[in-house]
Structure 1
Amino acid sequence: MSPHFSFLQLLTALTGAWSLTTVSEVSVAAGSSITIPCLYEPKFRDHVKYLCRGYDWLLCKYVMKSTQAPNSLGMISDDTSQQVFTVTIRDVQTRDAYYWCAVERIDSDMKQFFELVVTTGVPGLRVDNQRVKGFVGEDLTITFHHSNTGETQWCRLGGLCVRWPSGEIDGTAVIITLLRNDFFTVTMRTLRTGSRGWYFCTKGALRMPVHITVEQRPPTKPRMVTVLSPTTSERVKPTSASAASEVPTTKGDKSATSSDSPSSIIIIIIVTVSLVFIVMVTIVILLVLKTCKKIRTLPATTAAGEETYSEVTYTRNSHGESIRVPASNDTHATYSTLATQK
Structure 2
Amino acid sequence: MSFIPHLILAGLIGIHCKIITVSRVSVKAGDSISIPCLYDQDYRNHVKYLCQGYYWHSCSYAVKTNKKSGSEKFSISDDKNQGIFTVTIDKITHKDTDFWCAVEIVSGADVRHYFQLSVTTGMSNLYVDQQEITASEGGSVTINCHYKYSAERKWCRPGRTCVTNQSGSKDGTAVTIISNVFTVTMSKLRTESSGWYWCAAGDLQMPVHVTVNELPSTTMSPSTASKIQTIFYSHKLVTSKWTQQK
- 1: CA distance between counterparts of 2:3 and 2:53? 13
Equivalent in the alignment of 2:78: 78
Identical aligned pairs, as a percentage? 46
CA drift at 1:48: 0.5
CA drift at 1:13: 5.5
- 2: CA distance between counterparts of 1:186 and 1:11? 29
Cα distance change of structure 1 residues 6 and 131 upon mapping to structure 2, 3 Å threshold: closer
2:113 counterpart SS class: strand
Cα distance change of structure 1 residues 24 and 10 upon mapping to structure 2, 3 Å threshold: closer
Cα RMSD over matched residues?
1.8
Equivalent in the alignment of 1:136: 137
Equivalent in the alignment of 2:101: 101
Pairs within 5 Å for 1:143-158: 143-158=144-159
Superimposed CA distance per residue, residues 209-261 of structure 1 (whole angstroms, 9 cap, x where no aligned partner) = 011111124589xxxxxxxxxxxxxxxxxxxxxxxxxxxxxxxxxxxxxxxxx
Superimposed CA distance per residue, residues 111-140 of structure 1 (whole angstroms, 9 cap, x where no aligned partner) = 001000000100001112111011111111
Aligned AA for 1:134? A
Aligned AA for 1:39? L
1:9 counterpart SS class: helix
CA drift at 1:22: 0.3
2:130 counterpart SS class: coil
Equivalent in the alignment of 1:205: 203
Structure 1 consecutive aligned stretches of length 4 or more whose deviation exceeds 6 Å: none
Equivalent in the alignment of 1:242: none
Q: TM-score, normalised by structure 1?
A: 0.60
Equivalent in the alignment of 2:236: none
- 2: CA distance between counterparts of 1:100 and 1:6? 12
- 2: CA distance between counterparts of 1:90 and 1:10? 25
2:163 counterpart SS class: strand
Q: TM-score, normalised by structure 2?
A: 0.82
2:9 counterpart SS class: helix
Pairs within 5 Å for 1:236-251: none
Superimposed CA distance per residue, residues 283-338 of structure 1 (whole angstroms, 9 cap, x where no aligned partner) = xxxxxxxxxxxxxxxxxxxxxxxxxxxxxxxxxxxxxxxxxxxxxxxxxxxxxxxx
- 2: CA distance between counterparts of 1:165 and 1:171? 16
CA drift at 1:184: 2.2
- 1: CA distance between counterparts of 2:109 and 2:170? 34
- 2: CA distance between counterparts of 1:10 and 1:26? 15
Matched, 1:122 2:149: no
Aligned AA for 2:31? S
Q: What is the number of equivalent residue pairs in this alignment? A: 215
- 1: CA distance between counterparts of 2:75 and 2:7? 29
Q: Gaps (5+ residues) in structure 1?
A: 221-342
Cα distance change of structure 1 residues 141 and 66 upon mapping to structure 2, 3 Å threshold: same
- 1: CA distance between counterparts of 2:21 and 2:11? 16
Superimposed CA distance per residue, residues 82-108 of structure 1 (whole angstroms, 9 cap, x where no aligned partner) = 110000011111121110000000211
Cα distance change of structure 1 residues 33 and 164 upon mapping to structure 2, 3 Å threshold: same
Equivalent in the alignment of 1:160: 161
- 2: CA distance between counterparts of 1:199 and 1:159? 10
Equivalent in the alignment of 1:215: 213
Aligned AA for 1:65? K
- 2: CA distance between counterparts of 1:170 and 1:123? 29
Cα distance change of structure 1 residues 158 and 7 upon mapping to structure 2, 3 Å threshold: closer
Aligned AA for 2:173? T
Structure number, greater radius of gyration: 1
Superimposed CA distance per residue, residues 248-282 of structure 1 (whole angstroms, 9 cap, x where no aligned partner) = xxxxxxxxxxxxxxxxxxxxxxxxxxxxxxxxxxx
Equivalent in the alignment of 2:61: 62
Cα distance change of structure 1 residues 25 and 59 upon mapping to structure 2, 3 Å threshold: same
Cα distance change of structure 1 residues 216 and 189 upon mapping to structure 2, 3 Å threshold: same
Equivalent in the alignment of 1:169: 170
Aligned AA for 2:151? G
Aligned AA for 1:57? W
Q: Gaps (5+ residues) in structure 2?
A: 219-246
Aligned AA for 1:161? C
- 1: CA distance between counterparts of 2:84 and 2:14? 20
- Whether contact under 8 Å (2:14, 2:113) holds in the other structure is no
CA drift at 1:7: 4.7
1:187 counterpart SS class: strand
1:4 counterpart SS class: helix
CA drift at 1:203: 1.0
CA drift at 1:5: 2.1
- 1: CA distance between counterparts of 2:132 and 2:118? 21
- Whether contact under 8 Å (2:29, 2:94) holds in the other structure is yes
1:63 counterpart SS class: strand
